[in-house]
Structure 1
Amino acid sequence: MRYPDGGGLTAEQRKRREEVRMRAVDLFEEDGEVPCIARELRVSEKSVYQWRRTWRTGGREALCSIERDQ
């Protein structure tokens, strides 16, 4: 996933966000419903829909954080 300037996040924060997205993928693979996934992960349904779209077109790798040299 891409955010301008890393979204202003530290490497640790980016790692945590990636972990949340990877958990969402696990739930997509279990046929989880978007509202349930959003509640479980404490994120918006809009984010979950976006992640699912990205995952369907690019797989798990498409949701990985991009490493940045700081």
Structure 2
Amino acid sequence: MIGRLFHASYTVEGTWRLMRRHGWSWQQPVRRAIERDDEAVEVWKKETWPRVRAPRRSSAPGWSSRTKPGSR
């Protein structure tokens, strides 16, 4: 963002020093978003997530080769 706004590049450390020099600090939100609907999140986790997530891989050992064994 600094590069886009001011056409200057800073390292992470340089950015941190610049922020501290101007009295800024790292901040973390104290609370959750007001718009969050906990009931809707729970419904999504129970109904939608199981359909969306990738199926688990079998625990059987796989092949390191991309070709099938014994085929030519």
TM normalised by structure 1 equals: 0.25
| Greater helix proportion | 1
The structure with more radius of gyration: 2
Structure with greater contact order relative to length (CA < 8 Å, sep ≥ 6)? 1
